[in-house]
Protein backbone atom coordinates (compact mmCIF):
# COMPACT_ATOMS: atom_id res chain seq x y z
CA UNK A 1 0.00 0.00 0.00
CA UNK A 2 1.35 3.42 -0.96
CA UNK A 3 1.74 5.93 1.87
CA UNK A 4 -0.11 9.21 1.55
CA UNK A 5 2.49 11.87 0.86
CA UNK A 6 0.69 14.56 2.83
CA UNK A 7 -0.40 12.39 5.73
CA UNK A 8 -3.96 12.05 6.94
CA UNK A 9 -5.06 15.61 7.55
CA UNK A 10 -4.63 18.51 9.91
CA UNK A 11 -5.37 18.54 13.63
CA UNK A 12 -5.77 21.77 15.60
CA UNK A 13 -5.95 21.80 19.39
CA UNK A 14 -7.18 24.97 21.11
CA UNK A 15 -7.17 25.79 24.80
CA UNK A 16 -9.49 28.73 25.43
CA UNK A 17 -8.80 30.52 28.74
CA UNK A 18 -11.08 33.08 30.41
CA UNK A 19 -13.76 32.00 27.95
CA UNK A 20 -17.39 33.15 28.02
CA UNK A 21 -20.60 31.06 27.99
CA UNK A 22 -18.82 27.82 28.80
CA UNK A 23 -21.92 26.39 30.50
CA UNK A 24 -24.25 26.87 27.55
CA UNK A 25 -25.17 23.70 25.66
CA UNK A 26 -27.10 25.88 23.17
CA UNK A 27 -23.96 27.91 22.41
CA UNK A 28 -21.85 24.76 21.98
CA UNK A 29 -24.44 23.28 19.60
CA UNK A 30 -24.70 26.50 17.58
CA UNK A 31 -20.93 26.99 17.49
CA UNK A 32 -20.29 23.45 16.25
CA UNK A 33 -22.94 23.76 13.56
CA UNK A 34 -21.65 27.15 12.37
CA UNK A 35 -18.05 25.93 12.47
CA UNK A 36 -18.88 23.00 10.16
CA UNK A 37 -20.61 25.30 7.68
CA UNK A 38 -17.83 27.89 7.68
CA UNK A 39 -15.12 25.26 7.24
CA UNK A 40 -16.93 23.49 4.40
CA UNK A 41 -17.26 20.28 6.41
CA UNK A 42 -20.03 17.71 6.01
CA UNK A 43 -21.79 17.28 9.36
CA UNK A 44 -22.85 13.67 9.96
CA UNK A 45 -24.05 13.91 13.57
CA UNK A 46 -24.01 16.45 16.38
CA UNK A 47 -24.14 15.39 20.04
CA UNK A 48 -24.09 17.83 22.95
CA UNK A 49 -24.30 16.88 26.62
CA UNK A 50 -24.91 19.25 29.55
CA UNK A 51 -23.28 17.99 32.75
CA UNK A 52 -24.60 18.63 36.25
CA UNK A 53 -23.81 20.83 38.03
CA UNK A 54 -21.87 22.38 35.16
CA UNK A 55 -19.88 21.71 32.00
CA UNK A 56 -20.70 20.86 28.43
CA UNK A 57 -19.25 18.40 25.95
CA UNK A 58 -20.12 18.51 22.28
CA UNK A 59 -18.93 16.47 19.34
CA UNK A 60 -19.58 17.09 15.68
CA UNK A 61 -18.95 13.89 13.78
CA UNK A 62 -18.04 15.02 10.29
CA UNK A 63 -17.47 12.99 7.14
CA UNK A 64 -13.86 14.10 7.40
CA UNK A 65 -13.36 13.22 11.13
CA UNK A 66 -14.51 15.31 14.15
CA UNK A 67 -14.70 18.53 16.11
CA UNK A 68 -14.98 18.29 19.91
CA UNK A 69 -15.52 20.86 22.64
CA UNK A 70 -15.25 20.18 26.38
CA UNK A 71 -15.86 22.98 28.88
CA UNK A 72 -15.01 23.64 32.51
CA UNK A 73 -17.17 26.65 33.44
CA UNK A 74 -15.75 26.80 36.96
CA UNK A 75 -12.40 27.67 35.32
CA UNK A 76 -13.80 29.61 32.33
CA UNK A 77 -11.97 27.09 30.16
CA UNK A 78 -12.81 25.24 26.96
CA UNK A 79 -10.75 22.54 25.25
CA UNK A 80 -11.31 22.27 21.49
CA UNK A 81 -10.17 19.51 19.16
CA UNK A 82 -10.52 19.95 15.38
CA UNK A 83 -9.40 17.18 13.04
CA UNK A 84 -10.10 16.82 9.35
CA UNK A 85 -8.55 14.59 6.72
CA UNK A 86 -10.14 16.72 3.97
CA UNK A 87 -7.36 18.88 2.53
CA UNK A 88 -10.01 21.12 0.94
CA UNK A 89 -11.59 21.96 4.32
CA UNK A 90 -10.73 25.26 5.98
CA UNK A 91 -10.15 24.20 9.57
CA UNK A 92 -8.51 27.53 10.35
CA UNK A 93 -11.92 29.07 9.70
CA UNK A 94 -13.46 26.43 11.98
CA UNK A 95 -11.01 27.48 14.71
CA UNK A 96 -11.90 31.17 14.17
CA UNK A 97 -15.64 30.47 14.55
CA UNK A 98 -15.13 28.48 17.76
CA UNK A 99 -12.78 31.07 19.18
CA UNK A 100 -15.30 33.84 18.43
CA UNK A 101 -18.11 31.84 20.07
CA UNK A 102 -16.31 31.73 23.43
CA UNK A 103 -14.46 35.11 23.33
CA UNK A 104 -11.45 33.86 25.33
CA UNK A 105 -8.81 36.24 26.69
CA UNK A 106 -6.03 33.74 25.94
CA UNK A 107 -5.75 30.98 23.33
CA UNK A 108 -3.12 28.24 23.27
CA UNK A 109 -2.96 26.60 19.85
CA UNK A 110 -1.16 23.47 18.65
CA UNK A 111 -1.32 22.36 15.03
CA UNK A 112 -0.34 18.88 13.89
CA UNK A 113 -0.15 17.13 10.54
CA UNK A 114 -1.58 13.66 11.18
CA UNK A 115 -0.17 10.48 9.64
CA UNK A 116 3.37 11.60 8.92
CA UNK A 117 5.33 8.41 9.24
CA UNK A 118 8.68 8.82 10.95
CA UNK A 119 11.64 6.84 9.62
CA UNK A 120 12.66 3.76 11.66
CA UNK A 121 15.23 4.41 14.40
CA UNK A 122 18.68 4.95 12.96
CA UNK A 123 17.42 5.88 9.47
CA UNK A 124 16.99 9.29 7.92
CA UNK A 125 14.56 10.39 5.25
Q: List residues with catalytic annotation.
A: 65, 70, 85
Please return the burial class of 5, using the count of CB atoms within 10 Å of its CB with bins 0-12, 13-18 and 19+: exposed
Q: Is 115 helix (H, G, I), strand (E, B) or coil?
A: coil
DSSP string, 67-104: EEEEEEGGGTEEEEEEEE--TTS-HHHHHHHHHHHH--
How far apart are alpha carbons 41 and 104 in whole angstroms? 24
* Residues sharing a CB contact under 8 Å with residue 2, sequence separation 6 or more, in sequence order: none
Q: What is the dihedral angle through the alpha carbons of 116, 113, 61, 13, rounded to the nearest 10 degrees?
A: 140
Amino acid sequence: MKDRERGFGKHIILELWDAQNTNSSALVRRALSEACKSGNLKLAELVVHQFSPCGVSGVAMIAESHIAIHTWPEYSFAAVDIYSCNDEADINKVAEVLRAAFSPCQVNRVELRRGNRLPPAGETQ
